[in-house]
A and B are shown apart, each in its own frame.
Chain A
Amino acid sequence: MIDLALKMLLDEKARFAATVLGVGFAAALVLVQVGIFAGLLQNASITIERLDADLWVASRNAPNIDFGNPFPERYVDRVRSIPGVERADNLIVWYAFVALPTGAKESVEFYGLEDFPAWHFPWDVVSGEPADLRRGRFALLDASAERRFGAFQPGDFREFNGRQLKIIGRTRGALSFTTSPIAFVDYRIAQSLAPADLDGRTTFLLIRLAPGADHETVRAEVRKRLPYNDVYTQDEWAARSRAYWIESTGLGLTLALTVGLGALVGVVIVGQTLYASTTEHLADFGTVKALGGGNRTVFGIIAEQATFAAALGFGLALALTFTLAPLLERLDLKMIVSPMLIALVYAGTQALCLAAASMSFRKVATTDPAIVFRG
């Protein structure tokens, strides 16, 4: 079979290249934007997902993990005695200012736990031992802090809210949505960094269930014993933290606009070029009809051109996106392009290109095959 659609498309290389570039950049825009958005959202909940806790207790109406309100730390005792609870500990998530060697100050978000290894946290330790944090005024600092704090080495000292802590190692991938670097310190050290707010107080309770324990039964008991707190499963708490940033920052709307604009640009480019090409080839389509082809045949030609341009454009978009990924990583901007996102954007690209092609369908549907007899 002669593939007329493809041969017509490739016969006009400049127009075809413009179409593929247009689709490619539009699809790349969507992939990169959604990928960065997914990366930012992952930052918003990555510590929740990496902490090995089944239930989280937070102050009433705490919007996310970054903005917890302190409550009495002794509440943990009420939880530890609940049947089905294997382990329960206090977790402090709070902010401090770090004095830099330059004299400037930067904020840091610190996580305070009594026993980090018990919660398999932090999860990617480049150097140092989390178990050593409880041995003194020590901190583990995430490598991403170098962008804000400048270079640091294990053994360096930094002032956190005016108190000197020794950096004993570095972690990787611990980022927050707020872009403040994350530090890990012992629970008591954490309290000492902000005594006015945290003395005798914590911001979260972590609960790990015993094997076979029922989430809902334990949660109901926790709620009964801590009636002025909220209790979430790990997934609920992660979703709540992400939703806060999506809604409060307008990020969701911005993303929807970007995706919409990307899609619109793609549709306009493909639609315009296909329509122009169709108009120029009306005599060809008339000939196809005169030779016995029907509207379905000519629709098929245009649709095949659209899907081919979409496939090549999407390939270009993927190449652009994955070329950009390491550059973004150097800026500590995480981009998550999952197989699901790739599949969705590919399907969307195909659908939109076909929709754009449909603008030309009407033109050829009304083409009189007798056009071939006109000079």
Chain B
Amino acid sequence: MIVLEAHDVSKVYREGPHEVHALRGVSLSVRRGEVLAIEGPSGSGKTTLLSVLGCLLTPTSGRIVVDGRQVDPHRPGQLRELRRHAIGFVFQQFHLFAALTAAENVIYGLNLRGWTGEKARREAERVLGAVGLGERMDFRPRDLSGGQRQRVAVARALAGPSSLILADEPTGNLDGESGARVLDLFRSLARSEGRALVIVTHDPRVRTIADRVVTIRDGRITHEELEN
């Protein structure tokens, strides 16, 4: 089942009199349980593509379909709704709330999705257990290592019903061992939980877990290959 489709998506930024074409007619799709890696040099449009796929940016033209629902860029409420219920994010800088414990970070994300009370607590325990942090649930981010923080971020993205996980350089701030562990986690969770996973990365190790790899240059997909 296809979770994410992008059809002929373009994004143009205006900087004064100049137009910057960040994306030019990008099309792709991702199925449930599939891991798609997006590679490309800096400034190639990877992050813009991830922002558009994640309903954080609206495309200048083209069509995005998430979980069978066509994204209407003129309805900010629908964009929020999709981010809340269909999409999970993992960021390079983790973006955990420093004032909250690991469990609270996950629960807060669930609260925004409408999950509260014991239901949210149980789900947080489940996903934190799944990422191997069952013993660290009451730790604050400042008391966790970089790898553990990223695993909390992964748990937050996995918590709830989101069918699509978008990860931006998830291993970018991690040492080799932690990075490998997070990638293993992604692979197994994508399979066992049936989530679609899109990873933007420079890290060649991502290829080891990706089903497909697309390369983007100057806002265009220039290369696509099957990996595993």
Contact = CB atoms under 8 A, between A and B. Distances in A.
Contact of A4 (B91, B97, B116, B156): B97
Interface string A279-301: 00001101111111110010000
A287 B99 contact: no
A10 B104 CA distance: 15
A283 B85 CA distance: 21
B178 interface: no
Contacts of B54: 290
Interface string A256-295: 0000000000000000000000000001101111111110
A283 B95 contact: yes
B112 to A, nearest CB: 5
B149 to A, nearest CB: 13
Contact of A292 (B80, B95, B99): B80
Given A291-B112, A373-B47, A375-B92, A4 B100 contact: yes
Nearest to B51: A370
Contacts of A286: 95
A8 B56 CA distance: 24
Interface magnitude class on chain B: 20 to 34
Contacts of A1: 111, 116
Given A1-B116, A284-B95, A373-B50, A292 B81 contact: yes
Interface string B84-113: 110001011101011110001001110111
Contacts of A291: 83-84, 89, 108-109, 112, 156
Contacts of B5: none
Contacts of B112: 288, 291-293, 297
B168 interface: yes
Contacts of B92: 373, 375
B95 A372 contact: yes
A330 interface: no
A292 B81 CA distance: 6
Contacts of B91: 287, 372-373
A321 B108 CA distance: 39
Contact of B113 (A290, A292, A370): A292
B84 A292 contact: yes
Contact of A369 (B56, B104, B108, B109): B56
B111 A292 contact: no
B168 A294 contact: no
B102 to A, nearest CB: 12
A10 B47 contact: no
Contacts of A372: 56, 89, 91, 93, 95
Nearest to A6: B99
A2 interface: yes
Contacts of B156: 291
Interface string A14-34: 000000000000000000000
A193 to B, nearest CB: 72
A247 interface: no
Interface in B104-127: 104, 107-109, 111-113, 116
Nearest to A287: B95
A4 B63 CA distance: 35
Given A2-B100, A4-B108, A7-B100, 13 more contacts: A4-B100, A7-B99, A286-B95, A287-B97, A290-B56, A292-B81, A292-B85, A293-B80, A294-B76, A372-B95, A373-B56, A373-B91, A375-B92
Sorted nearest first, the 6 A-B pairs with minimum C-beta distance are A292-B84, A11-B99, A7-B99, A2-B108, A292-B83, A370-B51
18 contacts: A1-B111, A2-B107, A4-B97, A4-B108, A7-B104, A283-B93, A287-B95, A290-B83, A290-B89, A291-B109, A293-B80, A294-B80, A369-B83, A372-B93, A373-B47, A373-B56, A373-B92, A373-B168
